[in-house]
Structure 1
């Protein structure tokens, strides 16, 4: 189990900046560097019982683990003769922004309702 944790730590450490800022791409004299939000997590568990406590040798101990991650493309840095600028990915911003605005609106409606009383 310890070697698994060490292997995961090494894998995650090697992801680093390359997983957030992709490799620069040159297109017709313009350099593009993609930018993304990246997060991931891992977990594991067991039933906490020892195999020697009243279970036969053929029984399988209960344990599990898993992991996952999400990447949201935010935009790209563009470098050309006019300089360096950031171009956001509008679709991603809308996909993230619309639920945020909805939740903020619902919270504001509740605050107004409480203040009216």
Structure 2
């Protein structure tokens, strides 16, 4: 019997690029290619009660590549950009206030 976790892991690696970059779509003469951050994981084990395994994954849309006559350009997903930027700005602001307070002493 094949090891299911190993087989799922091989399939995940083989199709990783296909999951991160979607198929190009033509809309009104403009080619659009979606881009996402994909994460997947699989685990298997052998316990007293028998064999078992699990797996899961997630995809976070980052934006699209847009190909026009002018050239290729990346347009980010604003919602994802804000979700990443807000915690970064908070941490940076807190760090800057501590640095400024330390320099004043």
Bin for the TM-score computed over the shorter chain: 0.7 to 0.9
Distance in 2 between residues matched to 1:80 and 1:7, nearest whole Å: 40
User: In the alignment, which residue of structure 2 is the partner of 1:55?
Assistant: none
What is the root-mean-square deviation of aligned Cα atoms in Å?
2.7
For residues 66-77 of structure 1, the aligned pairs below 5 Å read 66-77=54-65
Cα distance change of structure 1 residues 109 and 62 upon mapping to structure 2, 3 Å threshold: farther
Q: Secondary structure at the match of 1:37?
A: strand
Q: Structure 1 stretches (4+) deviating beyond 6 angstroms?
A: none
For residues 88-107 of structure 1, the aligned pairs below 5 Å read 88-107=76-95
Distance in 1 between residues matched to 2:41 and 2:64, nearest whole Å: 25
Distance in 1 between residues matched to 2:3 and 2:30, nearest whole Å: 44
Count of residue pairs the alignment pairs up: 105
**TM-score w.r.t. structure 1 length?**
0.70
Cα distance change of structure 1 residues 92 and 83 upon mapping to structure 2, 3 Å threshold: same
Higher strand share: 2
Unaligned runs of 5+ in 2: none
Q: Say whether residues 1:32 and 2:21 are aligned partners.
A: no
- Higher-Rg structure is 1
Unaligned runs of 5+ in 1: 52-60
For residues 30-69 of structure 1, the aligned pairs below 5 Å read 30-44=30-44, 61=49, 65-69=53-57
Distance in 2 between residues matched to 1:83 and 1:40, nearest whole Å: 33
